[in-house]
A and B are shown apart, each in its own frame.
Chain A
Amino acid sequence: MAYLPNFLFVVVLSVAVAIFTRNIRQILRNIQLGRPTDRSDQSKARWNNMFRIALGQSKMVKRPIAGLLHVVVYIGFIIINIELLEIVVDGILGTHRVLAPYLGGVYPFLIASFEVLALAVLATVIVFWLRRNVLRLQRFLSDEMKGWSKWDADLILYFEVVLMGLFLTMNAADYALQLRETPGYIQAGSFPISQFLLPLFETTTTSKLIVFERVFWWAHILGILGFLNYLYYSKHLHILLAFPNTFYANLNPKGQFKNNSTVTQEVQLMLDPNADPYAAPPPAADERFGAADVTDLSWVQLLNAYTCTECGRCTSECPANQTGKKLSPRKIMMDTRDRITEIGPILQKQGEKFAGDGKQLLGDYITAEELWACTSCNACVEACPVDIDPLSIIMDMRQYLVMEESAAPTELNAMMSNIENNGAPWPFNNQDRLEWAKTTN
């Protein structure tokens, strides 16, 4: 019976890690359903990007208030996780504060830092909640943020409040037991914050206090493991995916849109008077121009979708959105993720046999009206703190609309036929291109 807690802990930990691994592999497989795109170049610049933008939060702090608040939670999250190491070892071995004897004078400093950070995170998370629910900042209230997205955002904050609260009460109970020189509770750590919670336990008997301490300890680690597995169902995957996402981000100038190489071959054949049209290899049957569904997008675009944490900086900078159009770059990313989550598992099971589910990203999730409202100004790409590129998806979907469905707005068809016939988007004769010179003095 003495080993029952250890046994339970190992079982819970193994199950939690197993589910987490399964979920992460599911996400990776879904991402791999995207079309290939080569991002294996410029590794130095890519590492640099990741260090600056993900690790260094350089784009986060462009909005100083939200940025600095986020840095607090981010640093808190990373540092407090060091404590997790000790908790896991204690859980498996049935020890208590196992690292204390090895770390000597550093240990109290570490515990004190965790406590200060935990309080800072707690305070910051409350500010975050107030921004969403009391100040009601515009970018958290868009249409796509109603329902589950709103719940998800708040739930993550509640999770963090509870976890930080449990961490501090756990320490307070421990400290109270240490002060009472209870056997098994070694004198270790320094508790600059949780010492103020001591009065809570003043009248509690030692045996009850031990129960409290154990309950807080267990609740804290179960909470962490629960949160770990909640990530998969939430918008919160950026804490992991921000790193690969910034690594594989587009490093070219933002104005450079990719050229379709299949089109290049076709155009070269058209323009070459000596070309033999029958010598050309037939285009792949499943190859279509642009994107109608998530499987037409590249794996980087799908990674982008999973990385998005719905902060809405893209949408708040979008000129179309600011002037009341339906387009919201954040919604483009959320729709993409919802769709890949929907068909990813079916596709993996049925593979080649998958005949579709009667739905697609274009039309069922993202409407043509949203796509045509974009000015391709790159404000959304610039604004994203983790280098997500909603514009590339919009452009791929426009390409599908025009090249596969001939569904461009009428005025754009007129513009394109002008280019085709006169070499200019307006109906002017190309022979008049130098007319302006006649009136130049």
Chain B
Amino acid sequence: MHIPTVAELIAKGESPEYVFWVGCAGSFDDRAKNITKAFIKILKQCEVSYAVLGTEESCTGDPAKRAGNEMLFQMQALSNIAVLNGYGVNKIVTACPHCFNTLKNEYPELGGHYEVIHHTTLLKQLLDKGKLSVEGGKFKGKKITYHDPCYLGRANGIYEAPRELIKKLDAELIEMRNCKSKGLCCGAGGAQMFKEAEKGTQEINEKRTEEVLKTDASYVAAACPFCNTMLTDGIKGKEQQEAVVVKDVVELIAEAKNL
């Protein structure tokens, strides 16, 4: 499938409605690439006008900022803003809550004003507009639990869009003990993804995995590529990969539609 880039559309005198900000994980991480692909398939099916920045995209700077390197963060931010403003971008959609949070909340003060939307919110909007239809398919009657990414939930108050999408799958949505505003972190945020954890009695993702397993769900839906990695590792660590599968919300929908 051909993936349109912003550069080529602009060259043709067109401009996409949305820039799909793929993010580092969605671009380079083998597991997260599947999330990107699933989202692309849905965008195409719903005839959403989009393009990616391709090689012109660079890290938003989120992990640098959370690690304390404000200089590197702002270098990334100001370069990205120069690219985005150069193309006159208005709307950005992304499947990564970290990119979402940084673009939406931290770029405006630096001169980057865009309407930034998380992919689960866009899917919900497409559903409401009747452009996207979701049926249960292979997930019908299955137990699914949803893990709230911190940077989507607490950080930005988005709890319902992903849940409503999951409910559309005719599946049974089971909540974990800690959910929504009390959701337990997967352990990856604040640049922890890129380092070993400090000494403790347990890994955070292991603790969250235990909460997942208690729900007896066959799928745990995530809405963040980093949560996805942490939960996948946690489930492997408990040797439960046969029993529970980690999927992004958009993967569930794409698979239910046999895309």
Contacts and interface: CB of A to CB of B under 8 A. Distances in A.
Q: Do A and B come from one complex?
A: yes
Contacts of B2: 437
A398 interface: yes
Given A259-B109, A440-B40, A271 B82 contact: yes
Given A256-B106, A395-B68, A323 B54 contact: no
A419 B59 contact: yes
B5, B61, B74, B105 — most chain A CB neighbours (10 Å): B74
Interface in A425-441: 425-426, 428, 430-437, 439-441
Contact of A259 (B27, B101, B106, B181): B106
A441 B24 CA distance: 21
B70 A263 contact: yes
Interface stretch (A184-192, A347-355, A375-383): A375-383
B27 A436 contact: yes
Contacts of A426: 24, 28-29
A104 interface: no
Given A320-B198, A395-B66, A376 B72 contact: no
A386 interface: no
Contacts of A256: 101, 105-106, 155
Contacts of B52: 434, 437
A266 to B, nearest CB: 7
B185 interface: yes
Contacts of B75: 267, 270-271, 420
Nearest to B32: A436
Nearest to B67: A412
Contact of A377 (B67, B189, B201): B189
Contacts of B104: 253
B107 to A, nearest CB: 9
B55 A434 contact: yes
Interface in B191-218: 191-204, 206-208
A323 B207 contact: yes
A253 B157 contact: yes
A86 B64 CA distance: 60
Contacts of B79: 271
Contacts of A431: 55
B70 A399 contact: yes
Contacts of B208: 319
Interface in A384-441: 395, 398-403, 408-409, 411-412, 414-416, 419-420, 423-426, 428, 430-437, 439-441
A398 B28 contact: no
Nearest to A370: B198
A242 interface: no
Interface in A253-267: 253-257, 259-260, 263-264, 266-267
A263 B154 contact: no
A340 B203 CA distance: 34
Contact of B72 (A372, A398, A416): A416
Nearest to B27: A433
B110 interface: yes
Given A266-B71, A376-B190, A424-B24, A412 B195 contact: yes
Interface in B147-190: 150-151, 154-157, 181-182, 184-185, 187-190
A268, A401, A425 — most chain B CB neighbours (10 Å): A425
Contacts of A264: 74, 78, 110
Interface residues of B, number: 74
Given A264-B74, A415-B63, A374 B190 contact: yes
A377 B68 contact: no
A255 B105 contact: yes
Interface string B37-79: 1001000000000001011011101011111111110111011
Interface string B8-23: 0000000000000010
A378 B150 contact: yes
B22 A255 contact: no
A190 to B, nearest CB: 45
Given A267-B78, A323-B200, A434-B3, A423 B190 contact: no
A394 B142 CA distance: 41
A344 interface: no
A257 B65 contact: yes
Given A408-B68, A416-B64, A419-B72, A323 B203 contact: yes
A20 interface: no
Contact of A320 (B65, B181, B200): B200
Interface string B117-149: 000000000000000000000000000000000
B27 A424 contact: yes
Contacts of B187: 319, 375
B190 A377 contact: yes
Nearest to A383: B182
Contact of A433 (B54, B71, B192): B54
B72 A420 contact: yes
B68, B76, B79, B185 — most chain A CB neighbours (10 Å): B68
A160 B182 CA distance: 32
5 contacts: A402-B69, A403-B68, A409-B195, A419-B63, A423-B59
Given A263-B71, A434-B54, 16 more contacts: A255-B151, A255-B156, A259-B106, A259-B109, A319-B187, A320-B197, A323-B201, A369-B199, A374-B190, A408-B67, A408-B69, A411-B196, A416-B67, A419-B61, A425-B193, A430-B58
